[in-house]
Every structure is written in structure tokens, then in C-alpha cells.
Amino acid sequence: MMNRQAVDDYYEEQQVARRAAPAKRSDAKDMKDILWKAADKLRGSMDAADYKHFVLGLVFLKYVSDAYYDRREHIEAELADEGITGEAAARLLEDRDEYTGAGVFWVPESARWETLSAQAKPRPGERTVGEVIDNAMEALGKVNPDLREALPRGLFNRRSVDERRLAELVDLIGRIGFGGQLDLNGERKTPRDVLGEVYEYFLGKFALAEGRRGGEYFTPPSVVKLLVETLEPVKGERVYDPCCGSGGMFVQAEKFIESHGGRAIDIAVYGQELNENTWRLAKMNLAIHGISADLGHRWGDTFFEDRHPDLRADVVLANPPFNISDWGGDRLADDPRWVYGIPPRGNANYAWLQHMAYKLKPKGRAGIVLANGSMSSKQSGEGDIRRMMVERDLVACLIALPGQMFRSTTIPACLWFLAKDKSSQGAKKLTDRRKQFLFIDTRELGSLSDRTFKEWSNEEIKKVADIYHAWRGTDWRLKYEDVPGLCYSASLDEVKHHDYVLTPSRYVGSVAAEEEVEPIDVKIERLTKELYGHFEESARLEREVRAQLGRCCHA
């Protein structure tokens, strides 16, 4: 039997405390530290790939509960202002439409954090904490169909789960407050804003903890931001990611839209993910950010089970897994997506490039993260495919990335930007870049955020994106110029001269010395004097050594 009195008492205590506590400035570091300590509660009893679903599921449950109570308090204040009290007020406080109409998930009583916390340490004969959490997830999914496939179900009440540690985890996450926080400017932050920040941080931490497996679903934020800032999705466009991982590309696209006065609903989001657990993470992550996305009815292999066969997108953003050898290419030799040539069976890089090109509208554009080898490899026909892509003017820009950008791999990486139409596009009045190609080398940019991981600053991201916008003519205020060592606009003949190798360093050259070049005769005279000076010093040292040895011999 459920201890109903304990739940009621706990609920009343929390309500009183919540009303009495003033809003406070959010300390993101403290909150992130709590989250990582929460992960440590289960570390050792299971793999990182497993415990992240426990922690992120509970964090999400705490968030929806806080968001629910944040909205509930707002309704209570409105009712008080209107003089509505008693049963009428109680009915309105439990009116689901009052919450969902404001973009807040409706949380049934059995899924509210107060209920869960009150039962986290059950008495003999009561349900285990694992049962309570599983039931809460089930109840939340029933009343919110969009969440049903995202929430972990049947995960917490398993024999392998340590109930004591799970109860401690509930207690620790209960200390996180997603409501009543202020930003650095003193403005109230919504629970969604707060969770969005810490959730992205958490995904990054798990990517580091899991090593290579984590990299399958996590792309460095500064790389994602550069892709979005360069392609600039706008209102009404369709954005697609065929290997969407945890949905980071979509989240950054939504942030970009909002920073330019739009809303998350202004773009249509489509994605696909092969891994079931990562697919669920993506749905949860997008729900947190208020993004309505079509990720297909379930997870699946993009090459063999395309969830969006008829989709043609305005923008493609993707970080496919590098150099996958067992992608099943031997069964897809006659696929219509291979417009530029049949990809090699032993490497999926050019399968990904062609799949994404196939998905673009006639004026669509794409930004793709790939291994550096994709820019120069000639094995198994890759050079011929790259030549066809260049000659048919699909390629717009190649960017070489610095090392140490990815926590999960040491493979050097680059960015491919594709464009179906490089003309001026009529009324858009872009710069006609047909048969021209932009190369950018960013290997000298970025700085270490810790001992092993490098990232770009916002200023560096803007600098690189502005180079592209100046070259393409998407910002009339900018004028493009080649910069030695950084960027170069090459003609088709120049690319042919380099045998269709697209490595930026072949085109951008080196940085010119800032100081005036020293005349050769002056340089020879200076170096000769320095050399004679070294000879004289060497002779002096030799005399000193001989003298010391002579004294030793006569001692």
C-alpha cells in the first residue's frame, strides 16, 4: 500500500518551502556538479552507457515536475488576483489545458517529484523505489504521447539495480531546482532554459566518460554552432539530420532561429538515428527544448530503412560516424542515391555525402562533419566520386578543423559544405560562385578548454562563418578577400590541377611574414658575424677547459 499520508505531508511541506523561497541567481557550476555526482552514485554498479539513462531519465522527471509546479504557482497567482478561491480554484489548478496550453507537460500526481521523493525509502511491504519510478514514467508517458517513446520504461525495477543507490540518487537529484532561477541579468529563467543548459553539459560529460561510444551521438558544441551559423536556417525551412544522435544539431538550429527573432516552431525538423537508446535521448532532448521533431516512428538504419523517403530538405546538418566499414554497401549497388558514383563497400563516407545530397531541394545546402581522408582519398573509386561532385558543382566549401576538437576520436576531421545551386539565385542577389570553391584552414584557431580538448570561441566561430558569408554574398556588408594561411577561393581549373584533392592547406598557402623581408646580402653579413662570434666563444671555452684539465693533472 502507498503511504498516502506521507505523500500529503511531504507535498504540503514542499509547497510552503517553495512559496517562501525567493528566486535566486542560478549557479550553473553547482548544478552541473550535482548532476555529475548523481551519475557517480551508480558508477561502478553499471556501465556508463547504461547509467546515463537512469540519471537523464530522473533528471527529466524532476524537470517536468518543477516546470509543472512553476506553472501551477503562476495559475494560483492569477486566480488570487481574480478572486477565485475554493473548489473553483482547485478545479482550475488540475485543468490539464491550463498547463499544456502554456507549453508545459501535464504531470499526473503519481509522477510528481513530491510523490516520488516521499516513497523513495519504502517501508516493508510497500513498493520498491524502482517500481515507483517505473510507474511514474509510465503515467507521464500515458498523458503525454510525445514523450511515451522517449522515456525509459521498465528500467529502474530490475534485479541488477541497487535500490539503496537508486534511493540516494533520487535524493541527490531532488536538490536540483529548475524553477525560480535568475540569469546573470537578474531575469527569471524558465525551467526549460535551466535544464537545457545542464542537459547539454551532461551529454558532453557522458561522451567523455564513454569514450568512442559517446562520440556516436555527441558533436562538440562549437562545431555544431559553426555549421548552423554558416548555413543559417530560416523560417519555413526543413532541417534534416540522417544520423541525429542526441539532437544537438536541431537544438543549435532552434537557438539560431530564436536569436534572430523567430521561434522553434518556425522550422520543420526531421531526423533519424540507428541506436535505440540514443534515439530516445534525442526525443527527450528535443522535448526539453520545446522542439517538435519527426524522428520517425522508431529508430533505424538510414541506408536501409529511410524513415523519410520522400523528404527533400532546405538544410542538412550532420556528423555521421567516420569511416564505417561494415555499412552494407554490397547490398545497395543499384541505389538511386548514388548519383555521383557507387560508394566503396569498405567505407561509408561517400555514401553519407551522396545520401545527404540526394535529400536536398534544388536550392538546398548541407554542412557535414567527416574524416580528413574524405578530402583526398582515391581508394575504391572515392577519387572519381569526388571529381564528379566537383565537376557538377555540388561542393561549395571545405574547412579543415583543428586537432583535439572531438573527445571521442583522434581522427582529424573536416567540414564539407554542399550547395545544389551556387548561382546568384535571382532576387536573393548572391554572389555567383559556379565553378568556384572556398577553402578555409582553421587548424591554428581554437584553444584548449582543458588539457586535451580544444574548442572555438564565439568570436572565432563568427570569423569563420563571416568568411563564408562574404564569399557567398549572403551578407552584403562583408567583402571577401583571400587571406594567406586562412582562406582561398579556387577555380575549377585550380582544383583540377590538384587532381581534385580538396585539402584546404593545398590552396590557402602560408601566412606571409609581417616584418619587412631582410635583403639577402645584409642577411649573409649578419649571419657571418654571428657565426664568427660563436667560433670565438667556442675557442674561449676550449681554452678554459684545457686550463682546468691542466690543473687537475698537476695537483
* Distance of alpha carbon 348 from alpha carbon 303, whole angstroms: 10
Strand arrangement of the beta sheet that strand 436-441 belongs to: 293-294, 268-271, 238-241, 313-318, 360-371, 413-419, 395-400, 436-441, 487-491
Task: Name 313's bridge partners.
Answer: 360
pLDDT tens-digit profile of 62-101? 888 888 988 898 899 999 999 888 888 888 898 899 888 8
Kindly report the number of other CB atoms within 10 A of residue 413's CB atom: 23
Kindly report the number of other CB atoms within 10 A of residue 335's CB atom: 17
Given this model, what pLDDT does residue 346 score? Answer: 93
Contacts of 447 (CB under 8 A, 6+ apart): 454, 455, 457
- At the topology level, CATH places domain 217-497 in Rossmann fold (3.40.50)
Given this model, what pLDDT does residue 34 score? Answer: 66
Helix, strand or coil, per DSSP, at residue 114? helix
Kindly report the number of other CB atoms within 10 A of residue 548's CB atom: 10
Task: Report the top-level CATH class of 4-205.
Answer: mainly alpha
**Residuewise pLDDT in 10s, the chain (555 residues):** 344 454 445 445 555 444 444 444 445 556 666 666 666 666 655 655 567 777 778 888 888 888 898 889 889 999 999 988 888 888 889 889 988 888 788 999 999 998 888 888 777 778 888 899 999 999 999 998 878 878 887 778 877 777 888 888 888 888 777 765 655 556 656 666 666 666 666 666 666 665 544 334 467 788 999 999 999 998 899 999 999 988 888 888 888 888 777 777 788 999 999 988 788 888 888 887 778 889 998 999 999 999 999 999 999 999 998 899 999 999 999 999 999 999 999 999 999 999 999 999 999 999 999 999 999 999 899 999 999 999 999 999 999 999 877 766 677 889 999 999 999 999 899 999 999 999 999 999 988 876 777 888 999 999 999 999 999 999 999 999 999 999 999 999 999 999 999 999 999 987 543 334 456 666 677 778 778 777 877 887 788 778 777 766 665
DSSP-H helix ranges across 318-457: 349-358, 382-391
Show me where the domains of the chain are located: 4-205, 217-497, 521-550
* Distance of alpha carbon 335 from alpha carbon 323, whole angstroms: 20
